[in-house]
Amino acid sequence: MNILRRVEMLEAAARQTDDVGYKLVFLQGEETYGEGIVREGLTDWPSDRILAISFVGAEDS
């Protein structure tokens, strides 16, 4: 199982239950953590319960 599949499974589990207590934010392109939080409407959510994920290519790292 690759990392993308694992993240997809985590996202599906988080979206099924409101009691998870954590939110996933997939950052898009050059988006910053703060911009992703605003886009997802999580500005009032505790920051220690937000998982921000950004995918980069080998040439970008």
Q: What is the pLDDT of residue 38?
A: 95
Asked whether residue 26 is domain-assigned, the answer is yes
Q: What is the pLDDT of residue 19?
A: 59
Domain housing 40: 3-53
Asked whether residue 35 is domain-assigned, the answer is yes
Q: Is the pLDDT of residue 20 over 70?
A: no
The total domain count for the chain is: 1
Q: What is the pLDDT of residue 44?
A: 93
Asked whether residue 32 is domain-assigned, the answer is yes
Asked whether residue 31 is domain-assigned, the answer is yes
SS3 37: helix
d(CA 6, CA 57): 18
Asked whether residue 60 is domain-assigned, the answer is no
Asked whether residue 15 is domain-assigned, the answer is yes
d(CA 11, CA 7): 6
The gap from C-alpha 6 to its chain's centroid, in whole angstroms, comes to 13
Q: Is the pLDDT of residue 29 over 90?
A: no
